[in-house]
Amino acid sequence: MKILVLNAGSSSHKSCLFDLSQGAESAAPQPLWRAALDWTHQQDKVELSASGAGESIQQVLPVADKAAGLEAMVKTLVDGPTQVLESLSAIDAVGHRVVHGGREYIDSVRIDDQVKAAIQRLIPLAPAHNPANLQGIEALEGILGNVPQVAVFDTAFHARMPEAAATYPGPYAWVEQGIRRYGFHGISHQYVAQRAADMVGRNIADLKILTCHLGNGCSLAAVKGGISIDTTMGFTPLDGLMMGSRSGSVDPGILIYLMRQGYSADQLDQLLNKESGLKGLSGQSNDMRSVTEAMEQGNAQAQLAFDTFIHRLRRDMGGMIASLGGLDVVVFTAGIGENSPMVWQQACAPFEFLGLRLKEDLSRAKEDQDIANQDSRVRSLVIHTQEEWAIAQACLSLL
């Protein structure tokens, strides 16, 4: 079974093709083909990159329309040096990452008119993502015809959280309006939790796992018995941990104060989502690598940004452990989580009282690794998140 996976964003698209003819393996294989579109650098032009059959291409196309860009990208599957298929009819299914499924969708689902209408209706909850996700679905319908398409929702893994964990302590009218904690990064959290269980050789149903997705966007999840019972992101991806350019949780009174100083809703949106976090505090960058380089050169703002990131990470890790009622495994994933031994050390240091001890000699690795000391009671794993593979597996399971 050949499954095309598409992650359609507002200004970039990423896609890959998996061959699952042997079934869904536990470890992610290399895709047959991978491609990306990027509209961010040149006006009314798109940068297309693709790799397949041992070859790669990079092109700049005079294309502003997203559907036309997707058609050009998909064409590299069957034409040119990256050709891996004789015909597009060889594609058996398409899996889409869809950011918001609301309360309706707690599992992956085959896409039909009703599902598309729901994705459209949920745009106010994910205005930067759901429109692009829907556009990608409709574009591939036009390109591939009646090939089955599957929506894999980023919120679905958290949809079974207890009501007490999902509810905000505002007026009950919020509950009735659907204002609740939905959580995000669910595809990643679900994948790394299952991968962690496989690595430690235990049934996920018996484990209490803390998953730490730390990238430009950051979130934690408390996974108990294979189910997310708590997470740090909430009604929007702005809640929770300090991130690359997002503030994470702040006192809502700050926003009331700023509004009385004349800030508009759009200005607050820009401030909290684009000008805060590591970027805002350090004055340097939203990239942890740049922040740590500046910190090591004596930059006081960069030091404050790093220290604040670690403090808030530790505090929320403690909250997730309390929700779990114990801890068997902690997992680090995503850009920072997979590549920063300094963050691993700093994040885990306060939890030695739980029996969590890391190896003294830590380094990045291409493979998933156990970074806990041999005598550690809690295992600590670094796992490369494989969201595209998880989407392909969800398609296979559903279809």
The pLDDT assigned to 180 comes to 95
Q: Residue 329's pLDDT band (boundaries 50, 70, 90)?
A: very high
- Count the neighbouring beta carbons within 10 Å of the beta carbon of residue 73: 23
- Rounded to whole angstroms, the Cα distance separating 371 from 379 reads 8
229 and 327 housed in the same domain: yes
The reply to whether 160 falls in a domain is: no
Report the domain count for the chain: 2
Contact of 12 with 3, CB cutoff 8 Å: no
- Rounded to whole angstroms, the Cα distance separating 240 from 247 reads 8
**By three-state DSSP, how is residue 117 classified?**
helix
* Pairing relationship of beta strands 379-382 and 369-370 according to DSSP bridges: antiparallel
The pLDDT assigned to 25 comes to 57
Q: What are the residues facing 325 on neighbouring strands?
A: none
Give residue 265's domain range.
Answer: 202-387
**What average pLDDT does the structure give for the chain?**
93
- Rounded to whole angstroms, the Cα distance separating 219 from 225 reads 19
210 and 145 housed in the same domain: no
User: Alpha-carbon torsion 21, 23, 25, 28, what sign?
Assistant: positive
The pLDDT assigned to 23 comes to 56
The pLDDT assigned to 187 comes to 94
The reply to whether 161 falls in a domain is: no
103 and 22 housed in the same domain: yes
104 and 223 housed in the same domain: no
List pLDDT tens digits, range 124-177: 888 878 999 999 999 999 999 889 999 999 999 999 999 999 999 999 999 999
222 and 338 housed in the same domain: yes
The pLDDT assigned to 399 comes to 82
- Rounded to the nearest 10 degrees, how much is the dihedral formed by the CA atoms of 177, 183, 186, 188? 150
pLDDT at 26 over 60: no
224 and 96 housed in the same domain: no
How much is the average pLDDT of 208-229? 97
**Angle separating helix axes 300-324 and 341-348, nearest 10 degrees:** 50
pLDDT at 366 over 90: no
The reply to whether 179 falls in a domain is: no
Q: Which of 120, 153, 186 is the last residue of a domain?
A: 153
| E strand segments, 243-357 | 329-333
211 and 146 housed in the same domain: no
95 and 240 housed in the same domain: no
**By three-state DSSP, how is residue 235 classified?**
coil
120 and 266 housed in the same domain: no
- Rounded to whole angstroms, the Cα distance separating 362 from 349 reads 14
- In 3D space, the residue among 175, 178, 180 whose CA is nearest the CA of residue 231 turns out to be 180
pLDDT at 22 over 70: no
251 and 344 housed in the same domain: yes
List pLDDT tens digits, range 243-287: 999 999 999 999 999 999 999 999 999 999 999 999 999 999 999
How much is the average pLDDT of 375-396? 94
The reply to whether 303 falls in a domain is: yes
DSSP alpha helix (H) spans, 23-180: 66-75, 113-121, 130-144, 163-166, 172-177
The reply to whether 162 falls in a domain is: no
The reply to whether 132 falls in a domain is: yes
Contact of 221 with 231, CB cutoff 8 Å: yes
Backbone angles phi, psi at 258, to 5 degrees: -65, -35
- Rounded to whole angstroms, the Cα distance separating 195 from 279 reads 32
**By three-state DSSP, how is residue 189 classified?**
helix
CATH number at residue 333: 3.30.420.40
The reply to whether 368 falls in a domain is: yes
Q: Which of 118, 134, 153 is the last residue of a domain?
A: 153
The reply to whether 176 falls in a domain is: no
Which pair of tokens denotes residue 114?
């009703």
- For the entire predicted model, the pTM comes to 0.92
263 and 369 housed in the same domain: yes
Q: Which of 87, 122, 153 is the last residue of a domain?
A: 153
Among candidate residues 19, 38, 92, 154, the one labeled active-site is 154
The pLDDT assigned to 20 comes to 84
Contact of 49 with 35, CB cutoff 8 Å: yes
List pLDDT tens digits, range 37-69: 998 888 888 999 999 999 999 999 998 888 899
Specify whether 154 is catalytic: yes
Contact of 317 with 210, CB cutoff 8 Å: yes
Task: Give percent of the chain above pLDDT 90.
Answer: 83
Measured CA to CA in angstroms, residue 97 lies from 129, 184, 208 at distances of: 10, 12, 26
pLDDT at 317 over 60: yes
71 and 130 housed in the same domain: yes
The pLDDT assigned to 104 comes to 84
The pLDDT assigned to 3 comes to 94
DSSP 211: E
Q: What is the CB-side half-sphere exposure of residue 134 using CA atoms within 13 A?
A: 20
